[in-house]
Amino acid sequence: MLVVRGVTLQYGAKNHLVTATYRVTFNVQESDRYVVLGPSGCGKSTLLKAVGGYIRPVEGEISLDGAPIKAPAPDRVFVFQEFDQLLPWKTVKENIVFALTASGKAKRPEAEERAMHNIQKVKLTEFAASYPHTLSGGMKQRAAIARALAMEPRMLLMDEPFAALDALTRVQMQEELLQLCEETKFTVLFVTHSISEAIRIGTRVLVLSAHPGQVRAELNAGDCDEARLQELLFSA
């Protein structure tokens, strides 16, 4: 479904180019929970942004269902690590309605219905009318996930969505995400630097090395264990 072939990404000024990833290749299949695992500085977030369409590769190509990715679009919805991804001037429900109406996925009455349905899925019904700043970090991330799910995108792009949460909430959110995946079978591309998170979430795991990010290995969930990933990540 998603094909990433020989992708090299660079950012920075003209005379100070940083190569984020170097000739990375992988494929994501329908309803995969594809995890990109790597140490900080391996360009995994940049890679995700390229799939999102925010950055163009300097080499190689990225395509979704055969069509090359050129710009951000609502068929690939992002969930960021930052808590301020919710529009602070809209309630939880209005945030979702905004996403649906702005992208033309649904009109008002239907958008509200879909919003409430997804809010219920992430167990935020009581807080549908709350403004984001009144929510805890975990609730904000849930709201962001609800917004992304409501869009029913081809792919969900998650950029360390639980990294800024406390350990307990993080584990709980991982469980909930897995449950949601079981229910709706959506395709996720998930970026993380946490080995345990990769093992818990992923059906497949891509391991990247640092500076610049290059593919170390691609593993199925069954072949992943902590020691193996540790070795892949930290061996020179």
Partner 1 sequence: MPSALRKAIVLLALAAIWEIYARWLNNPLLFPTFVDTVRAFFAAIVSGELPKAATYTIQLLLKGYVAGLAIAALLTAFASATQIGADLLETLTAMFNPLPSIALLPLALIWFGLGDGSIIFVLIHAVLWAVALNTYSGFRAVSPTLRMVGQNYGLSKIGYVTRILIPGAFPSILTGLKVGWAFAWRTLIAAELVFGVSSGSGGLGWYIFEQKNQLLIPNVFAGLLTVILFGLIVENLIFRTIENRTVRRWGMQV
| List of residues contacting partner 1 (CB under 8 A) | 52, 54, 71-74, 76-78, 80, 82, 84-85, 87-89, 98-99, 102-104, 131-134, 151
- Nearest approach in angstroms of CB 89 to partner 1 is 5
The beta-carbon contacts of 222-227 under 8 Å, at least 24 apart in sequence, are: 224/198, 224/199, 225/199, 226/195, 226/196, 226/199
- Nearest approach in angstroms of CB 23 to partner 1 is 25
- Nearest approach in angstroms of CB 86 to partner 1 is 8
Sheet of 155-159: strands edge to edge?
Answer: 76-79, 155-159, 187-192, 33-37, 204-208, 215-220
- Nearest approach in angstroms of CB 73 to partner 1 is 6
Question: Which residue, 52 or 212, has its beta carbon nearer to partner 1?
Answer: 52
Distance in angstroms (rounded) separating the CA atoms of residues 130 and 218: 42
Mention every residue, 6+ apart, whose C-beta is less than 8 A from residue 179: none
Phi, psi angles (nearest 5°) of residue 225: -140, 160
Residue with tokens 């991330």: 141
Question: Which residue, 84 or 175, has its beta carbon nearer to partner 1?
Answer: 84
Question: Which residue, 4 or 151, has its beta carbon nearer to partner 1?
Answer: 151
- Residue of 161, 154, 160 whose CA lies nearest to 3: 154
Question: Which residue, 115 or 199, has its beta carbon nearer to partner 1?
Answer: 115
Phi, psi angles (nearest 5°) of residue 132: -50, -35
Question: Which residue, 87 or 171, has its beta carbon nearer to partner 1?
Answer: 87
- Nearest approach in angstroms of CB 72 to partner 1 is 4
